[in-house]
Structure 1
Amino acid sequence: MRKIRSLVFFDMDGTLLSSNSTIVPEVSDAIRQLKANGNIPIICTGRAAFEVRQFMKECQIDSIVSMNGQYIEFEGQVVSNREIPADLCGRVLSYAQSRNDILGFYNYQEIALSEDQPLSRSFYQNIAAPFPQVDNEFYKTAPVNQLLVISHHADREYAQQFPELEFFITGEKSIDAVLKGGSKGKGIKSLQAKEQLDVPTYAFGDGNNDLTMFDVVDHSIAMKNGNKKIKEKANFITDTNDNLGIVKGLQKLKLI
């Protein structure tokens, strides 16, 4: 039987990805070495699974906790798939429209946006991702695992309006929303329980939605480019995402 040395979770944007939203060769080489050494690298992201498949392929990563814990795969097999009810999606859409915000509907296969506006165009340009389809009735016929609010100003008003959802402010103009109780940390614990993985755990992150990862792993590593909260919570701070912070962190941990 294969012996698993550890589980190592990686946030994507600002962590595994460089500032131009690519994985540099030194980082992909390090992840492959990490895996060869008996560790399981796992993407842990707010993004949908289909958005990061190419990155996973580059690094030979087969496991993912996506959409803040709503959709989970372990070594290619689906572990969890939590969906937001259509009526709740509709209510959030109405509120977003009242604020002139844009709502994104995410599942593990595709994304749809409520509107095509300069605000949404600039958002996807900034994360170097293709602009999704526009369909404000997508949620009526397709499953939705996560909502994305693209706002002129990200604030806590959504959380006050919809207590049945968990909201994560991920940027000045973006908020992720999942079912109450959902988070990266809850996704990690669910994966460990369902797969009976009682091994050391590590997590690399840079932002607010990574805080729950740090709550549940044994060793937490913040990127130097991360925000103040994540740095304060980390066991140690590695270099930036543009200066091989992942490679240096894995070396310090003696995982590669």
Structure 2
Amino acid sequence: MNLTDILVASDYDRTISDEKDSFVINNAVREKINKFSKNNYFVVVTGRERRFIDRLAYGLEPTGWVLENGALIMINDKVYYNIPKSWPKLRFEIGKRLSAERLNFTYGEVIIYLNNVSNNICDLFSDLYEVSVEWNRSDVMIMPKGVNKGNGIKKFAEILGFKGRIIAVGDSQNDVSLFKAADFKVAVNNALKEIKEMADLVLNKDDGQGIIELLDYIESGEIYKLGLS
């Protein structure tokens, strides 16, 4: 079945990959996605950097990637930076403020990452109106205002010229914008409560096994009986 009017946009950590596997993709999940992607659109939308994806998702060949929470788009060998011209200067200023507070952080190609954050990091940037903060459980991503997974997948679809329906799959807070950009929202079974409450469909299985479940529903046409119109 060719489903070129459907684009599946899936988160990676705890959606395609399992934390107990250190987020390395399962062979069966990789094979299922690769087979699906040969004739259909499948996009990985993640907060991860490219360097981690290359290691954790080795051999995965989706239609494309939306990385760094929407800031970096990759289709085939082309890379698109979804950021305003002001961002490099702002990022430098953010780095200075984080260093002054002695907070541990890392730079991605575009955004800034902090792990296991317990304080209200937003207070440090309350005067920088072009900056936004996204949470993924206890981890934080600092990026340009208006850039997020939802914005990223819209840019991806625009580049591709895709005008069909988007099925979004996720598990955590930074998937909210992805859900808002989608026509049909799917939560894996291990998703946070707030994500399940937003979803049109909650899968029976966790992580990558849930992705296999979803792709089976799509390929069999069962997805229409489950609510996709």
- CA 1:192–1:255: 2 relative to 1, 3 Å: farther
- Root-mean-square deviation (CA), in Å? 2.4
1:223 positional shift: 1.4
CA contact under 8 A between 2:82 and 2:152: conserved in structure 1? no
Amino acid aligned to 1:213: L
1:216 positional shift: 1.0
CA contact under 8 A between 1:101 and 1:150: conserved in structure 2? no
1:62 positional shift: 4.5
Secondary structure, aligned partner of 2:129:
coil
Query: 1:69 matched to which residue of 2?
Result: 70
CA contact under 8 A between 2:117 and 2:140: conserved in structure 1? no
Q: Deviations over 1:175-228 (max 9, x none)?
A: 101111100100111121232111221121111111111111112111111112
Q: Deviations over 1:75-125 (max 9, x none)?
A: 332243426634322322232234331121110xxxxxxxxxxxxxxxxxx
CA contact under 8 A between 2:137 and 2:173: conserved in structure 1? no
1:55 positional shift: 4.9
Query: 1:193 matched to which residue of 2?
Result: 158
Amino acid aligned to 2:191: G
1:50 positional shift: 2.8
Amino acid aligned to 1:32: N
Amino acid aligned to 2:173: N
Q: Deviations over 1:10-48 (max 9, x none)?
A: 111111111221211221121122123x21211101111
Unmatched segments (≥5 aa) in structure 2:
222-229
Which of structure 1's runs of 4+ aligned residues deviate more than 4 A? 54-57
Amino acid aligned to 2:134: F
Residue in structure 2 matching 1:166, options 126, 129, 132: 132
Q: Which whole-Å CA distance do the structure 2 matches of 1:154 and 1:52 have between them?
A: 28
Residue in structure 2 matching 1:184, options 127, 149, 164: 149
Amino acid aligned to 1:202: I
- CA 1:175–1:102: 2 relative to 1, 3 Å: same
Q: Which whole-Å CA distance do the structure 2 matches of 1:255 and 1:27 have between them?
A: 17
Alignment of 1:1-256 (within 5 A): 4-19=4-19, 20=21, 21-36=23-38, 38-82=39-83, 85-107=87-109, 145-150=110-115, 152-155=117-120, 156-158=122-124, 160-172=126-138, 174-238=139-203, 239-241=205-207, 244-254=209-219
Secondary structure, aligned partner of 2:107:
strand
CA contact under 8 A between 2:37 and 2:63: conserved in structure 1? no
Unmatched segments (≥5 aa) in structure 1:
108-144
- CA 1:151–1:88: 2 relative to 1, 3 Å: farther
Q: Which whole-Å CA distance do the structure 2 matches of 1:150 and 1:56 have between them?
A: 21
Q: Which whole-Å CA distance do the structure 2 matches of 1:52 and 1:219 have between them?
A: 26
Secondary structure, aligned partner of 2:15:
helix
What TM-score do the two structures reach when normalised by structure 2?
A: 0.83
1:159 positional shift: 5.1
- CA 1:151–1:225: 2 relative to 1, 3 Å: closer
CA contact under 8 A between 1:79 and 1:194: conserved in structure 2? no
Query: 1:119 matched to which residue of 2?
Result: none
CA contact under 8 A between 1:184 and 1:209: conserved in structure 2? yes
Q: Which whole-Å CA distance do the structure 2 matches of 1:210 and 1:187 have between them?
A: 12
1:6 positional shift: 2.3
What TM-score do the two structures reach when normalised by structure 1?
A: 0.75
Identity, % of aligned pairs? 20
1:49 positional shift: 2.1
Q: Deviations over 1:146-165 (max 9, x none)?
A: 01123541534345353211
